[in-house]
């Protein structure tokens, strides 16, 4: 699972490097991306709710990390 996650994140970074420097987002696209990242974070946090102890802490940390990555993309 971790290898797949690392590969997916690496693919996102590689795809971002291919974008031209002049590519910009409109305000609407930015707000939509930000809202989508927040919604995904909320869902990920809810999936952590039934867990307990260290597993819950790890789940929440991973969710927060993914949120920060998604937010940084916009």
pLDDT at 15: 56
Entry pTM: 0.60
Parse the chain into domains and list their residue ranges: 25-74
CB neighbours of residue 64 within 10 Å: 13
pLDDT tens per residue across span 1-53: 566 665 666 666 665 555 554 557 688 888 888 899 999 999 999 999 999 99
Beta carbons of 42 and 30 less than 8 angstroms apart: no
């Amino acid at each position: 699972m971790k290898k797949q996650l690392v590969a997916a994140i690496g693919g996102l970074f590689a795809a971002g490097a291919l974008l031209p420097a002049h590519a910009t987002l409109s305000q609407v696209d930015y707000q939509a991306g930000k809202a989508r990242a927040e919604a995904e974070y909320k869902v990920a946090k809810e999936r952590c709710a039934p867990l307990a102890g260290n597993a819950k802490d790890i789940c929440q940390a991973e969710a927060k990390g993914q949120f920060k990555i998604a937010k940084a993309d916009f």
